[in-house]
């Protein structure tokens, strides 16, 4: 395992993952893109990897091509009933929870619970899932954000989180990725306060060629992203390195990992900066409170351990 001060290693790759035998990892959105690449790398390193996916058939097809110990469970982050069912059906420890799944720059849509789709899926779904599973998590939670958390308006629209009457695909995506970072910040604060050894970290892939960009609302943007994927982007293996580094290396809680190249677009995994808005502890606490209200999932402390319940 890398020294805690070695936060940048240009030679670090998936082949440098530590032996993860006996460990369990849950990866959301593991049937495709960066989630599948991360799941495969973790399984090759010896972990038992749970593919937490919306479409179990596609998940099984992906898992069948991954060497190692895997299983597939249904999880629709855009439906809180599905999130609760996943958590209620879970037994045993989770060493690594990788909050990877997400949607990007969609036409305006709503989740099953009426939330704006990008905020509801990328943030609220993972917020609820993490809190419901947290009593079983033993090591760390890694949430995938994006360099685009700086985009849009660069803020959380606290008075209109669902962006009703103010929707724009980029604004909604940026808000959801900013929420991922604020969630990580407040989660780590609460874990530290509770005396928990679990660490919360975040990562972003830089510019990685995946199928995520193919669902953007603007056809010209889709064309531009397809060209960018071919000409500029790094591959999905390189794109998943910050997530894998965050999941397996000895790093401080609330760390944010990304590529070390120009503009954090590509390169070796390293600690990276975040916007001022993403570093605001007051905003992080406010978002947490609102997220509890929206999802009905609460954090509770008791008997020296973390307990999480719902209402």
Per-residue pLDDT of the chain (311 residues; tens, 9 = 90+): 444 444 455 579 999 999 999 999 999 999 999 999 999 999 999 999 999 999 999 999 999 999 999 999 999 999 999 999 999 999 999 999 999 999 999 999 999 999 999 999 999 999 999 999 999 999 999 999 999 999 999 999 999 999 999 999 999 999 999 999 999 999 999 999 999 999 999 999 999 765 554 455 556 555 545 554 454 668 889 999 999 999 999 999 999 999 998 888 989 999 999 999 999 999 999 999 999 999 999 996 433 344 344 33
Residue 72's domain is classified under what CATH number?
3.40.50.720
Burial label for 222, CB within 10 Å (0-12, 13-18, 19+), is: middle
Q: Judge whether 44 lies within some domain.
A: yes
- Residues 167, 173, 245, 256: which is the catalytic one? 173
Q: How many domains does the chain have?
A: 1
**The predicted structure's pLDDT at residue 209:** 61
**The predicted structure's pLDDT at residue 189:** 97
What is each CA distance from 297 to 19, 149, 301, in whole angstroms? 34, 24, 14
Q: Judge whether 232 lies within some domain.
A: no
Q: Judge whether 195 lies within some domain.
A: yes
Q: Judge whether 105 lies within some domain.
A: yes
Q: Judge whether 168 lies within some domain.
A: yes
**The predicted structure's pLDDT at residue 100:** 98
Confirm if 216 and 222 have CB atoms less than 8 A apart.
yes
Provide the domain limits for residue 171: 21-204+240-310
Spatial strand order in the sheet of 70-74: 70-74, 48-53, 24-28, 94-99, 137-144, 199-203, 256-259, 269-271
**HEC string for 170-185:** HHHHHHHHHHHHHHHH
Residue 207 bears catalytic tag: no
Q: Judge whether 60 lies within some domain.
A: yes
Q: Judge whether 96 lies within some domain.
A: yes
What is each CA distance from 202 to 46, 142, 143, 278, in whole angstroms? 23, 5, 5, 11
Q: Judge whether 1 lies within some domain.
A: no
Neighbours of 108 (CB within 10 A): 15
């Amino acid at each position: 395992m890398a020294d805690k001060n070695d936060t940048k290693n240009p030679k670090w790759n998936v082949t440098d993952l530590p032996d993860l035998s006996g460990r369990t990892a849950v990866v959301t959105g593991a049937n495709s893109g960066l989630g599948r690449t991360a799941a495969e790398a973790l399984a090759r390193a010896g972990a038992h990897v749970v593919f937490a996916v919306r479409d179990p058939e596609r998940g099984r097809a992906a898992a069948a091509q991954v060497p190692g110990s895997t299983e597939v469970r249904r999880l629709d982050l855009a439906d809180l009933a599905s999130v609760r069912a996943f958590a209620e059906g879970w037994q045993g420890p989770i060493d690594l929870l990788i909050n990877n799944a997400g949607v990007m720059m969609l036409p305006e849509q709503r989740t099953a619970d009426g939330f704006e789709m990008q905020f509801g899926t990328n943030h609220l779904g993972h917020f609820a899932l993490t809190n419901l599973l947290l009593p079983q998590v033993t090591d760390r939670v890694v949430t995938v954000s994006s360099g685009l958390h700086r985009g849009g308006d660069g803020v959380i629209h606290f008075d209109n989180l669902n962006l009703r009457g103010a929707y724009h695909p980029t604004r909604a995506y940026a808000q959801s990725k900013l929420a991922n970072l604020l969630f990580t910040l407040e989660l780590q604060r609460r874990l530290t306060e509770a005396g928990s050894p679990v660490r919360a970290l975040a990562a972003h892939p830089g510019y990685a060629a995946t199928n995520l960009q193919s669902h953007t609302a603007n056809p010209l943007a889709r064309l531009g992203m397809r060209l960018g994927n071919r000409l500029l982007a790094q591959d999905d293996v390189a794109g998943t390195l910050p997530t894998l580094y965050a999941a397996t290396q000895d790093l401080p809680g609330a760390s944010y990992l990304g590529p070390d190249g120009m503009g954090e677009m590509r390169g070796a995994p390293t600690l990276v900066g975040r916007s001022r808005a993403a570093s605001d502890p007051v905003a992080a606490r406010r978002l947490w409170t609102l997220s509890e209200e929206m999802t009905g999932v609460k954090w509770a402390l008791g008997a020296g351990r973390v307990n999480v319940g719902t209402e």
